[in-house]
Amino acid sequence: MPKPANALPRILVLGAGLGGTIAAYEIRDATRGRAEVMVVSDSEDYWFVPSNPWVAVRWREPEAIRVPLAPVMAKKGIGFTSVGATRVHPAENRVELRDGSSIAYDWLVIATGPELAFDEIPGFGPDGHTVSVCKTDHAAHAADAFDAFCKNPRPIVVGAAQGASCFGPAYEFALILDTELRRRKIRDQVPMTFVTSEPYIGHLGLDGVGDTKGLLESQLRERHIKWVTNARVTRFDEGVAHVEEVGEDGAVKKTHDLPFGFSMLLPAFRGIKAVHGIEGLTNPRGFILADKHQRNPHFKNIYSLGVCVAIPPLGPTPVPVGVPKTGFMIESMVTAVAHNIAAELEGREPNEVPSWNAVCLADFGDGGVAFVAQPQIPPRNVNWSSHGKWVHIAKVGFEKYFIRKVRRGTSEPLYEKLVLQMLGIKKLKETTKEDV
Ligand SMILES: Cc1cc2nc3c(=O)[nH]c(=O)nc-3n(C[C@H](O)[C@H](O)[C@H](O)COP(=O)(O)OP(=O)(O)OC[C@H]3O[C@@H](n4cnc5c(N)ncnc54)[C@H](O)[C@@H]3O)c2cc1C
């Protein structure tokens, strides 16, 4: 879709997940009347991914976390297609779609989330021997598998594989399963093992936040869940996870053949095929390279946000672990991108820097663990974690609030601004001259 010569500049948002939808709303508000905003997704709907673990134990129906996007985008005056992209052509300022057509852009915002690298471990994932909660349709299949499992209870293996960067949902799911099995009165028949590439429980790809090590170890201990850290899974056979436990020196210390009747591990992520291997745009795993303003250093009219952004690991660990990109951190990227594109439209250089603050709630059904990391990458100004029943209530509140925000097409209502101000949690860093 080329642009007519006298048309407004076009800002194209690629991907309509947690980051892309909010980005479209916020960019549209920041550039109202001065640019055309369009969204390319590969789905008609927005799905609230953080509730997927609840879908897998039927605490939520998929329908409850779905928002059809076309009507909201139309109401907001944002162009929308769900055809999906096959390739970004940054040198030609266009994105090629699955139907063979192309959309030209003046600015591109990439928010395509992860491609799930299940294929890096034989037998892994929903096409192999384990279930997944990464996508809502995966979680719906996991719910069927869980119901069948409950009729014939056996051991459970849950966790995060080598190279994973998303650990909160792994703990969350292990503890949700424990709660649900107790509710179904079959927990006593289900030995559970948490298998993780993290060097210690509660590392979370962040070298811990506050006392996440103590809090999460204690949760696992109290609920009789054994664990293997520094774990590298070599393969999944039907009903058996083959795991190497690695020492500090990287050598294999012990091997475990863990039987299971139900298993979910978070996989490693990589960039989607439409951007993979583009010199100057992506790193070797297909994540988008971005400077502190979220702008690509080579293709200066391309910004990126969310899980698709390249962030180096915190430091070497015996088994590779990545840095998580959590919801609030992504929202801070969204706000910076919206302000920076608006500045460029006015002929100024981008100068907003996202705070990358992390506020995370991991719910266990009857309690949970919360942490605030400001900034997400240490050393930090705020490094706090806590636990209790309030986390479950807060997470349900957050789910309702975020889905409403997507349904209404608002990026940050006034009361959110006020609450964040009260808590002293900022989306943007205070910029200095050097940041410009
Ligand atoms: C199970 C799970 C639970 C999580 N829970 C939490 C939590 O409780 N709190 C928290 O802070 N974070 C959580 N996260 C981390 C993070 O907040 C989410 O992963 C979040 O959804 C990431 O947002 P995103 O926009 O980067 O990617 P996504 O939300 O995955 O969105 C990417 C979008 O791009 C689209 N797309 C992909 N390829 C194409 C293509 N070729 N063309 C067009 N569109 C395309 C996808 O369909 C998708 O809609 C969780 C992550 C997972 C996996």
CA distance to 54, 176, 283, 406, per residue, from 142 (Å):
11, 13, 32, 26
Instruction: Say how far apart CA 429 and CA 405 lie, in whole Å.
Output: 24
Instruction: Say how far apart CA 158 and CA 168 lie, in whole Å.
Output: 12
Residues with CB under 6 A from ligand 1: 14-20, 40-43, 49-50, 52, 84-85, 111-113, 133-134, 166, 168-169, 272, 274, 306-307, 326-327, 330, 360
Return the percentage of the chain with pLDDT > 90, whole number: 80
The mean pLDDT value of the chain amounts to 93
State the average pLDDT over residues 254-270. Answer: 98
Cβ distance 369 to 219 under 8 Å? Answer: yes
| Burial (CB count within 10 angstroms: exposed 0-12, middle 13-18, buried 19+), residue 346 | exposed
pLDDT single digits (tens) 132-143? 999 999 999 999
Beta bridge partners of 252: 246
305 Cα nearest atom in ligand 1: 26
**Catalytic residue status for 166:** yes
pTM of the entire predicted model: 0.95
Residue 435 has pLDDT above 70, yes or no: no
Taking the centre of ligand 1 as the mean of its atom positions, its distance from the CA of residue 17, in whole angstroms, is: 5
For position 375, what pLDDT does the model report? 81
Instruction: Say how far apart CA 425 and CA 385 lie, in whole Å.
Output: 15
State the average pLDDT over residues 189-198. Answer: 98
pLDDT single digits (tens) 397-434? 889 999 999 999 987 655 555 556 655 667 777 764 45
Return the half-sphere exposure (C-beta side, CA atoms, 13 A cut-off) of residue 346. Answer: 12
Taking the centre of ligand 1 as the mean of its atom positions, its distance from the CA of residue 399, in whole angstroms, is: 14
Alpha carbon nearest to ligand 1 atom 25, residue:
19
Instruction: Say how far apart CA 309 and CA 303 lie, in whole Å.
Output: 9
Q: Show the DSSP H helices in 305-388 as ranges.
A: 327-345
**Catalytic residue status for 134:** no
For position 424, what pLDDT does the model report? 64
Alpha carbon nearest to ligand 1 atom 30, residue:
113
Beta bridge partners of 11: 37, 107
Instruction: Say how far apart CA 297 and CA 350 lie, in whole Å.
Output: 12
Given the residues 134, 150, 308, 360, the one annotated as active site: 360
Banded model confidence at residue 436, pLDDT cuts 50, 70, 90: very low
Handedness of CA 13, 281, 329, 132 (dihedral sign): positive
Higher pLDDT, 29 or 426: 29
